[in-house]
Amino acid sequence: MTMDRRSVLGLGGAAAAGVMLAPGLHLIAAPNKTEADGNKRWAMLIDVNKCASDCTACTSACRTENNVPMFGDPTRDIHWIRKVELKDKSGRRPSVSLPVLCNHCEEPPCVHVCPTEASFVRKDGIVLVDKHRCIGCRYCMIACPYKARSLVYHKTKLPEGGNPDVPIRGSGVVEKCTFCVHRVDDGKLPACVEACNREGHGAMLFGDLNDPESEIAKRIKSVPTTTVRKDLGLEPHVHYQGL
Amino acid sequence: MIDNYRAIEGNSSSYFSLLALFGTFVAIGAGAFFYIEHNGHGVTNMTNQVVWGLPHVFAISLLVMASGALNLASMATVFGAKHYKQFRRFSAFLAIALLAGGLAVLVLDLGRPDRMLLTMIHMNFKSMFTWNVFLYSGFIVMCFLYLWTMMQHERFVKLAGSAAFGFRLILTTGTGSIFGVIAARDMFHSAITAPTFIAVSLSAGTALSLILLVVTFRSTGREMDIKLVHGLRNMLVFFTLLVAYLIVVEKFTSLYAPNTDDVAHYVLGGAHKMLYWGGVVVIGVLLPLLVLFMPASGNSVGGIVFASICSIAGEMAFIAHVLFAGQAYPFDMFPGYEITSVFLDGSVGVYWPSLVELLLGLGGMAITGLIYILGIKFFRLLPKKAVAPEGWAPWSP
């Protein structure tokens, strides 16, 4: 069989049209991914006044709980939660130390930009990454104002003594804090909060904002708190007291 | 009409050498892709701060140029510049070739390129990336349709050409908006980002078309009226001035507002200042304008081709600056505070491309080159002789 050149061009156009139109066959909303309780709104409150600069209980607990890998390269090491030191440029305010993590925003820009819906918000407000759907485009890392996401640059394996409840993430995908969703679903606190209560100074509080009787809802109502980059309108669910 | 066009012979040793050269680079690019795919992105020099590296510069530059490459066809079909009608086929085909090269690099630089089909199964219409999947594939469809009407159904050319013209504006707006809509990044977030991308695409696309036409006609012994080159030169002057205007307006606005002047100062005097001043301003804008406005160089084919090369280099510098400076500039999460951490918060990101990234990017360029030289051999894309209308005298310096 022979084809003239116009047929080749026509076939090329048809193939491109197929690529363009094929997605239209799937314009059906993705099914709900979880059975999380939509009446809850998990949130965290961090009292900066209680957070000591030499304490890293939260970050260590997170790393152990979630098998977060370290590669020995600060530019690529993964941090689901990290301690940051703040020094007032004018020198009028005292220096402070506080943990920064994914803010599990109500309007998460990472979810908005994710082309495959790999980043999504559970009904209870926890922002997660489906590691099987992430294509590693890194657009979410560009969009997140909290630098809360990391690309897995190297192959990883479950460390000796690692937590078998949290599967490791393969290289080429993006990962971040999950609010220890596996623990929350079991009625436990996130590992960082538990470690802060146990080994730290009780600076972290976790709970359901929608429950008016919860400690976090009461505290946020009664003391002045703030969120990071409030100006962006993302409605973060990590609140800070004393900042 | 079809008799006016002729495919090149493509039997010379230099043609096959060029074919072998592009083929080699495509193979090397494929090797670079498999190396990254096998070992992970750890073999690149990207970091958790600069997550889009040199491959993205190549990919976006090619995609932006693709839109601009359709200029000649649009000038003829939409704006009635009949003397460019003879280049319509070349123009639309070049746009497809550029898009193919750019898309290849973009896809192959994904962390998980094997999951690319997921972008067509699970779609998020809030994502600019999702929209770009439609825009890129749609643009290729438009260009094929346009070519088809040019070759077989001339009466529909105006319709197809106008649709392709509109689509290319939307396409480049979409590419620019990948950055422009990101509120978290002060250096990206601007309504003028997308129009600047359009202006850059117009200048670089015209420059590439000009270079390829001059080189192809000369190397195949075809005649091209110098007035056509001068007409293209004038388009390049106009588009370069447009780029300069948009860049100046954007910087003026950033410097004027207290909440964005830190970013503007970083652009003008920070770690990436050489890329901005040297690459974008001097090589991309001032040098081409100087060459094109000087009578001796501005009227010579050599001078015009040199200015076109500068324009393309400037385009790549612009994309590289947007990407690298935009990502390296640290987030200001706590205004008024200096911030430090083990995650390098508050630090300017450092990034130098690795060889494997360069080879992947060059592989994408070679795909474009390969498609182009195969295209002009197997399809009647170029006129036997490019003539300018009698009495038409484009402005000259």
Given a cut of 90, whether residue A227 has pLDDT beyond it is yes
Residue among B40, B112, B145 minimizing CB distance to A13: B145
DSSP state of B52: S
Q: How confident is the model at residue B93 (pLDDT cuts 50, 70, 90)?
A: very high
Inter-chain CB proximity B113 and A135 less than 8 Å: yes
Q: What is the mean pLDDT of residues A233-238?
A: 96
Closest CA to B120 of A211, A117, A183, A55: A117
Low-confidence winner among A18-22, A154-158, B164-168, B300-304 (lowest mean pLDDT): A18-22
Fill in the amino acid letter for B300.
S
Torsion of CA B22, B24, B26, B28, to 10 degrees: -140
Q: What is the mean pLDDT of residues B70-77?
A: 92
Tokens coding B258: 């207290």
Could you tell me which CATH class the domain B2-382 is placed in?
mainly alpha
Q: How confident is the model at residue B364 (pLDDT cuts 50, 70, 90)?
A: very high
- Using an 8 Å Cβ cutoff, are B327 and B349 in contact? yes
Whole-number percent of chain B with pLDDT over 70: 99
Closest CA to A229 of A135, A128, A148: A148
The residue of B45, B99, B120 whose CB has the most chain A CBs within 10 angstroms, and thus the best one to mutate to test that interface, is B120
Q: What is the mean pLDDT of residues A143-169?
A: 93
Burial A25-41 (b: 16+ CB within 10 A, else e): eeeeeeeeeeebeeebb
Q: Is the ipTM of this complex over 0.90?
A: yes
Q: How confident is the model at residue B281 (pLDDT cuts 50, 70, 90)?
A: very high
Q: How confident is the model at residue B2 (pLDDT cuts 50, 70, 90)?
A: very low
- Using an 8 Å Cβ cutoff, are B391 and B83 in contact? no
Q: How confident is the model at residue A17 (pLDDT cuts 50, 70, 90)?
A: low
Given a cut of 80, whether residue B188 has pLDDT beyond it is yes
Q: Rg of chain A's alpha carbons, rounded to an integer? A: 22
Inter-chain CB proximity B137 and A16 less than 8 Å: yes
pTM of the complete model: 0.91
Q: How confident is the model at residue A191 (pLDDT cuts 50, 70, 90)?
A: very high
Closest CA to A105 of A84, A117, A120, A116: A120
HSE toward the beta carbon, residue B268, CA cutoff 13 A: 13
Q: What is the mean pLDDT of residues B105-132?
A: 93
At residue B120, the pLDDT reads 87
The DSSP line for A79-102 is -SEEEEEEEETTS-SPPEEEEEE-
Q: What is the mean pLDDT of residues A205-226?
A: 96
Tokens coding B22: 């592009």
Given a cut of 70, whether residue B3 has pLDDT beyond it is no
Q: How confident is the model at residue B1 (pLDDT cuts 50, 70, 90)?
A: very low
At residue B277, the pLDDT reads 96
Whole-number percent of chain A with pLDDT over 90: 80
> Beta-carbon neighbour count of residue A99 at 10 Å?
26
Domains of chain A plus CATH, in order, are 38-241 (3.30.70.20)
Given a cut of 70, whether residue B136 has pLDDT beyond it is yes
Q: What is the mean pLDDT of residues B170-194?
A: 92
Given a cut of 70, whether residue A60 has pLDDT beyond it is yes
Given a cut of 50, whether residue A132 has pLDDT beyond it is yes
The residue of B114, B332, B337, B376 whose CB has the most chain A CBs within 10 angstroms, and thus the best one to mutate to test that interface, is B337
The residue of A2, A3, A9 whose CB has the most chain B CBs within 10 angstroms, and thus the best one to mutate to test that interface, is A9
* Range B189-193, long-range pairs (CB < 8 A, 24+ positions): B190/B250, B190/B253, B192/B246, B192/B249, B192/B250, B192/B253, B193/B250, B193/B322
Q: How far is CA B74 from CA A110, B146, B182, in A?
A: 37, 10, 31
Angle at the Cα of B309 (from B308 to B313), degrees rounded to 5?
A: 115
Inter-chain CB proximity B184 and A232 less than 8 Å: yes
Low-confidence winner among A39-43, B2-6, B26-30 (lowest mean pLDDT): B2-6
At residue A2, the pLDDT reads 56
- Using an 8 Å Cβ cutoff, are B22 and B370 in contact? yes
Residue among A9, A114, A172 minimizing CB distance to B111: A172
